[in-house]
Structure 1
């Protein structure tokens, strides 16, 4: 049988040089080889560059066999610790209870640090009184030490440091000071007190924020009211809302440009009277509404927030009575929950001045007093209403006429305190016009008799006696009404006011 020989394929890069013969370990470590290499270096004295030679003080001292042995042992111990960590991780796995092999480590953690001496800021703090000690970390085992020197996780110093570190978890708005940079120790009692204080402050802040978001404050509205105003603009009732022009104890007034409402023209300039939803702004509202027969049945069934809508509806009905009687007052355009849209009393975005701010001559003051007296009589006799808050602050001077505003608190004379409210109005009117020098201005007592048509005994020095007569008259009227079981109305006042444009959609 022929024997075939296998030849190695030729390399495309040419012939491959033969590898040099391998040297054994004994040849490398032999002294003869070292001497031979030393002699070869001496044959070429200029080959060595003196600039490349390291200075003797910078050269690592490797002549000591002890140092070489320590370096090798350190490297061996590190490799052993790495293998130990792998074994520990493999042994524990995903178990919740883990076993540590730290006691079998060969290299101390601080000795195994890779930080160099150049990176350390060498500042002598041995005599620094504010020098903080290195914080101690609670071991996983729960205690450290042996024998009698056992330190558990309940140690006072350890707990104090841990409580100080946990202050970082407090709310950002809580200022805990700069003590975190020191070795500060907080006891459990102090930490629990701080934690409870932080939680109470967060709850208080949340309540204040919620109250602000759901209330109509001065020159500001809550999101719900703002949404209602946006809907009016989107529906075309208003072209735009310009800004706040007046604030009071019960409402905020905004100026706006009118649009159209169900193919009916809206005045070119209107005002939005937004009744405040904060009940503490006007706590005595129920005094004017709970005894009004028109809302008495509904008052007891509504919550305080819905009473605000009832308050806006009350002013709408009162204004409708004044309009029918021919008394100058704003015209009602639309009622949307607690927002009442009225015609604007003024011109070119400038509201008419209040009577107290208007600059009037003597003739104008006399004419204004006569108009106020006529309006008070008409309100009492024809509209069956008492303003209940009439003063120079709720009367405007526009086009040489006095205009009445803010009639949401107006009540009927048969109200249990209606005549008392009327006497207070007479006092405010008489005081203002007499102070302005109107000669024909009546006193508060004669003005009350002129408006009501009553003939109560008048003594200018005895206001308490006059008030006693009014209270007695109110008591008789109340008893008379309870016996008859119904109300009496003037000629031009209907029992039920006609329905107005009241949009009740949310």
Structure 2
């Protein structure tokens, strides 16, 4: 769950300054030493202690005694910084209910200029090492906290959506701040939960969208029935943080896997036997 809205609204300017200082300093420290944080914020020891106590009570900051006394920003704090920035920019006005959850994200409705969707990227403890291995935007070594990995993931997805829209049927990208992507609301249901009366036209449309993305130099990288939204008239390809350029050395293998995943799903659920070679030719030729 993202941080409760009332917590974001109740943040004092001093508490925002502490969160921003931790965000900056955590690029150097896993746990920011108290003296370093005190120097960065220019607060007295009593003021800093009081504000840190409030932030820890709201689960925005964590404290650790070993190997030294230090503090770290956690996702509630990072959520607060992103939501505060998006609200000040006028992108969003209110946060609504959760509408989806994945391995590395949570998705919520929100109000902006109408209904929009907020996707909170959360590259967590279990997925962090695999993300470091698989994704080009992750540093090979050094300090990269999960919050910054999540920010990189969000930027990757936002960049893909900007490149693909409107040629490919994807959500309209509206804004991005830190680990949060704001996009247009997509109607319909997840393909994995749909019961299509006419599945073949939807399969054809998915492949056509994969082709258009390929022509724009992008391979999805994680395409399956869980990353497609459908109604009876249209489909949308979603979840793009793992995309690769077609010049990537493994692009052909990744594209083949994307296509195979979709073909196997339609064969398993709807009995459609679509030859892989035919599907691949439709995408790349």
Q: Post-superposition, which runs of at least 4 consecutive aligned residues in structure 1 deviate over 6 A?
A: none
Structure 1 contact 299–307 (Cα < 8 Å) conserved: no
Call closer, same or farther: CA 1:378–1:288 in 2, change over 3 Å.
Answer: farther
CA contact (8 A) 2:85 2:177 kept: no
SS in 1 for 2:241: coil
Say if 1:249 and 1:282, in contact at 8 Å, map to a contact too.
no
> Secondary structure in 2 aligned to 1:414?
coil
RMSD between aligned residues: 2.9
Q: Tell me which residue corresponds to 2:7.
A: none
Compared CA separation, residues 399 and 450, structure 1 to 2 (3 A) = closer
Q: How far has the Cα of 1:376 moved from its partner?
A: 1.6
Secondary structure in 1 matching 2:183: strand
Q: Map 1:338-417; keep pairs closer than 5 Å.
A: 338-346=179-187, 352-361=188-197, 364-380=198-214, 382-398=215-231, 400-417=233-250
The alignment status of 1:334 with 2:170, answered yes or no, reads: no
Q: Give the number of aligned pairs.
A: 218
Residues 1:447 and 2:283 aligned together: no
Distance 2:165 2:279 in 1: 24
> Which residues of 2 match residues 71-90 of structure 1 at below 5 A?
none
Encode CA deviations 1:242-262: one digit per residue, 9 max, x unaligned. 12221111111111011xxxx
Give the corresponding residue for 2:144: 304
Asked whether the 8 Å contact 1:377–1:452 carries over to 2, the reply is yes
In 2, the alpha carbon distance for the partners of 1:408 and 1:448 equals 22
User: What is the CA distance between 1:332 and its match in structure 2?
Assistant: 0.9
Change in CA separation of 1:283 and 1:447 when aligned onto 2, cut-off 3 Å? farther
Alignment-derived partner of residue 419 in structure 1: 252
In structure 1, the gaps of 5 or more residues are 1-204, 217-221, 259-265, 347-351, 454-506
TM-score (norm 2): 0.67
Greater relative CO, 1 or 2 (CA 8 Å, sep 6+) = 2
Matched residue, 1:321? 163
Rate the CA distance shift 1:308–1:428 in 2: closer, same or farther, 3 A. same
Residue 139 of structure 2 corresponds to residue 289 of structure 1? no
Change (3 A) 1:299 1:424: same
Tell which structure's C-alpha radius of gyration is larger. Answer: 1
Q: Distance in 1 between matches of 2:123 and 2:191?
A: 28
SS at match of 1:393: helix
Structure richer in strand, relative to its length: 2
Instruction: Provide the rounded CA distance (Å) in 2 between the counterparts of 1:415 and 1:408.
Output: 15
The equivalent of 2:121 in structure 1 is 275
**Structure with the higher helix share, 1 or 2:** 2
- TM-score, structure 1 normalization: 0.39
- The question of whether the paired residues in 2 share the 8 Å contact of 1:334 and 1:342 is answered with yes
Structure 2 spans left out of the alignment, 5+ residues:
1-61
Residues in 1 aligned to 2:100 and 2:170: alpha-carbon distance in whole angstroms: 17
Check 1:241–1:399 CA distance in 2 against 1; reply closer, same or farther (3 A cut): farther
How far off is 1:231 after superposition?
4.1
